[in-house]
Amino acid sequence: MPTSPIVVGSSFYLNVGNNGSGVKDEYLRQTRRWTEAVKAAGYRPFLELKHLGLVTRERLDELKSAVDLFTLHVQYLERPGKSNTTLNLVDPSDRAAIETDPQTANAFDLIRPALVSFHCGFSAVEIGTAPPGDHNYALTPVLSREETFSRINDSLDTVISYFRRKGYANRILIENLDYTSGGGLGCGSAYEHVCEKDFILELLAKPEIGSLLDIAHSLISANNLIRGYTPQHLARALYNSGKLAQIHLNAPQREDGDVFDMHLPFYTDEDVVNTLRTILRMHKNDTDRKDPLFITIEPSASVCESDPEEAVYKQGCELLKLLKAVYG
């Protein structure tokens, strides 16, 4: 086993089963079944929650029958006058909204999360969403690298201050994004600058900021940036920075040379598995690290709805097999 512990979890979609109690009950049953398997393997389980408006004391009481540890991923904000709810750290109005959003405050107060994470901001203030995979594109001009960095950095200062006032003492994590071109949909790509390794590492220079590595996002960026970017290089750089605290684990869809963020089972993609194995081996040999590494399976919400056993339990057991192969 590594010197620093591994904590094993899954994203839990609170919107799954809203239209049918049977689906909701089965999803929770498979989640309980999976967390029991995690405990039996000698790891502590956790759940990551995203849909903050659906976090209620009643739902948490249900989930606490399975786990006692949660992380919080702040991905959406309900903002008057804006149709797109994706949080964008480069937008000053979103920065201000974080401090006044009742859903974020309520979710944090009820969960008291071990970790709080955000997507890294985009490179345009206004963004749209398009299929496949709901990738984003710029509706306003793409900002320069310097302006993009400055705005995201300022937003992170606001986020740090806000959560410190609420009693959160850990690092705020930023998740790497999946570079996609604008595709002629607006003013260009919303992902310029922000997917590049050096840009991410510069943001991590702030002591209060840590990293959440989405391996599928790194594969998509490697496919689309074509600038000597590889998932292995990014994974090694983030781990060696001492800032990698959490991993999102799923597989992209590959189609005719394109790679899309579709949250397929992680074990179906050799590159995902090899990148995870690289990180685990580094972690195993890291005798200095004390902080735990959170590994988060991020299944497709639609498959959680249609086949929660496959999405949660079976995929979870594949992760436990991989952990056993690395750590014994």
Q: What is the CATH number of the domain that holds 90?
A: 3.20.20.150
Q: Please give the torsion angle defined by the CA atoms of residues 136, 138, 142 and 143, in that order, rounded to the nearest 10 degrees.
A: -70
| Residue 1 within any structural domain of the chain | no
| Residue 28 within any structural domain of the chain | yes
| Dihedral (CA of 188, 191, 195, 196) sign | positive
| Residue 54 within any structural domain of the chain | yes
Q: Is 131 left (phi over 0), alpha (psi -120 to 50) or beta?
A: beta
What mean pLDDT do residues 63-77 have?
Answer: 93
Report the alpha-carbon distance of residue 110 to residue 9 in Å, rounded.
19
Number of domains present in the structure of the chain: 1
Write out pLDDT tens, residues 242-284: 999 999 999 999 988 888 899 999 999 999 999 999 999 999 9
Q: For the beta carbon of residue 206, count every other beta carbon within 10 angstroms.
A: 16
Report the alpha-carbon distance of residue 288 to residue 20 in Å, rounded.
48
Write out pLDDT tens, residues 167-220: 999 999 999 999 988 777 778 899 999 999 999 999 999 999 999 999 999 999
| Residue 245 within any structural domain of the chain | yes
Question: Domain residues for 114?
Answer: 6-327
pTM to 2 decimal places: 0.96
Write out pLDDT tens, residues 86-120: 899 999 999 988 998 999 999 999 999 999 999 99
| Residue 126 within any structural domain of the chain | yes
Reference 45, options 322, 319, 324; nearest CA is: 319
